[in-house]
């Protein structure tokens, strides 16, 4: 437990005329430990540092946010659990990991839902998006909003992937996300779920043949060193969720809650605007470092979308189908709406 709780000693209590039954008086100073797996300096962590600055400034230093990037406090699932149990106060995992905590969030783990980030933001920031986050309260977590990892692309150690058939038998590291695993299996790949801190070594040692993540994280986590054949599949738009321990959050005054919420909103705006061009910039850096980045032709891209049609048909009933339909509708995605009708 990291929270700063100043105990008032019996002596002090006596001096102030307090009686023993008034018990422990918590001060309003707190330290928030905020862990994440993203590399220090990446756009997410620039946003989280802004969050820390704003909270410190607006509380005159009463609330300190310590950001721990680079998996220093563990993998994503581990950190969600640590946040749940109050060992740390905040984390911001990929939404996929949260399916293990609130099954209704699985609808975001279906591939090719969103065509672009603007559409994703619009849907996530709507009432429907808020509704989707509310269920996390049952797991002891308050969601402060939808952050962003970005569109996930493939990075392979050996050979370029262009079409789904190229994934036949390929050992692909995925997150520990049931629907991701099911999709890659459905196209014949051999998905291998690993937590993020294990990925670099697994690629180096050939435990897996590839990985998928947005360019920025692939590059900053140096995964593009072993896996330098990249393909711009944009197969999933990956939002991250800013989470805070519910008991901790609710122990704060209304004013402090408002400061935390508005600093989180500012961080999310900052992250999204920094992300706008970062993918192209990093892609150029990956190429300059000797990586190969492949764009799909329209037919190839279509082949990927087609590959997901049977997956939708088969798996829509495994999740909250009405929510899945609502998301697809809001995203203007008629292909998969038809597939699950």
At its nearest, how many Å lie between ligand EAX and the CB of residue 94? Answer: 3
Show the DSSP H helices in the chain as ranges.
Answer: 10-15, 43-58, 76-84, 95-98, 117-124, 127-134, 178-186, 199-204, 215-220, 246-251, 254-288, 298-315, 321-330, 334-339
| DSSP SS3 for 139 | helix
Give the residue carrying structure tokens 């050996």.
Answer: 158
Q: Which residues within the stretch 158-187 sit at the binding site for ligand EAX (CB under 6 A)?
A: 175
> Is 188 within 8 Å of 208 (Cβ atoms)?
no
- Please report how close the Cβ of residue 231 comes to ligand EAX at its closest, in angstroms: 16
Among 213, 231, 279, 315, binds ligand EAX (CB under 6 A): 213
Closest CA to 304 of 162, 155, 156, 119: 162
Inter-residue contact 307 to 240 (CB < 8 Å): no
- What residues between 251 and 310 interact with ligand EAX by CB under 6 A? none
CB 93 → ligand EAX: shortest distance, Å?
Answer: 6
By CB under 6 A, residue 94 contacts ligand EAX: yes
Asked if 91 is part of the footprint of ligand EAX (rule: CB under 6 A), the reply reads no
Does 37 help bind ligand EAX (rule: CB under 6 A)? yes
Does 34 sit near ligand EAX (CB under 6 A)? no
Residue of 43, 54, 59, 149 interacting with ligand EAX (CB under 6 A): 149
Minimum CB–partner distance for residue 322 and ligand EAX (Å): 27
Residues 229-248, one symbol each (x = binds ligand EAX by CB under 6 A, - = not), give ---------x-x--------
- Per DSSP, the residues of 172-209 read EEE-S-HHHHHHHHHTT-EEEE--GGGHHHHHHTTS-S
The residues of the shown chain that bind ligand EAX, judged by CB under 6 A, are: 37-38, 76, 93-94, 149, 175, 196, 213, 238, 240
């Amino acid at each position: 437990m990291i929270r700063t709780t100043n105990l008032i000693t019996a002596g002090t209590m006596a001096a102030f005329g307090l009686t023993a039954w008034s018990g422990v008086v918590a001060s309003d100073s707190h330290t928030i430990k905020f862990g994440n797996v993203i590399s220090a300096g990446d756009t997410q962590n620039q946003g989280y540092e802004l969050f820390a600055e704003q909270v410190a400034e607006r509380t005159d230093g009463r609330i300190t946010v310590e950001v721990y990037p680079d998996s220093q406090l563990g993998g994503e699932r581990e950190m969600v659990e640590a946040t749940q149990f109050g060992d740390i106060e905040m984390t911001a995992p990929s939404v996929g990991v949260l399916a293990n905590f609130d099954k209704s969030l699985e609808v975001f783990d279906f591939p090719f839902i969103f065509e672009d980030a603007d559409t994703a933001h619009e849907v996530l920031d709507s009432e429907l998006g808020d509704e989707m986050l509310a269920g996390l309260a049952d797991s002891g977590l308050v969601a402060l909003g939808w952050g962003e990892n970005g569109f996930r692309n493939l990075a392979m150690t050996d050979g370029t992937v262009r079409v789904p058939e190229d994934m036949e038998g390929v050992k692909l590291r995925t997150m520990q996300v049931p629907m991701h695993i099911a999709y890659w299996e459905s196209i014949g790949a051999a998905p291998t779920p690993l937590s993020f801190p294990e990925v670099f070594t697994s690629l180096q040692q050939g435990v897996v043949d590839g990985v998928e993540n947005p360019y920025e994280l692939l590059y900053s986590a140096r995964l593009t060193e072993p896996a330098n054949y990249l393909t711009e599949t944009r197969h999933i738009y990956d939002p991250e969720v800013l989470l805070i321990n519910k008991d901790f959050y609710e122990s704060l005054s209304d004013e402090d809650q408002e400061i935390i919420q508005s600093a989180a909103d500012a961080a999310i705006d900052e992250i999204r605007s920094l992300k706008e061009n970062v993918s192209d910039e990093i892609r150029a850096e990956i190429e300059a470092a000797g990586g190969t980045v492949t764009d799909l032709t329209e037919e190839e891209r279509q082949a990927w979308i087609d590959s997901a049609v049977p997956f939708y048909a088969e798996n829509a009933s495994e999740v909250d189908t009405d929510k899945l339909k609502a998301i697809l509708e809001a995203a203007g995605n008629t292909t998969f709406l038809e597939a699950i009708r």
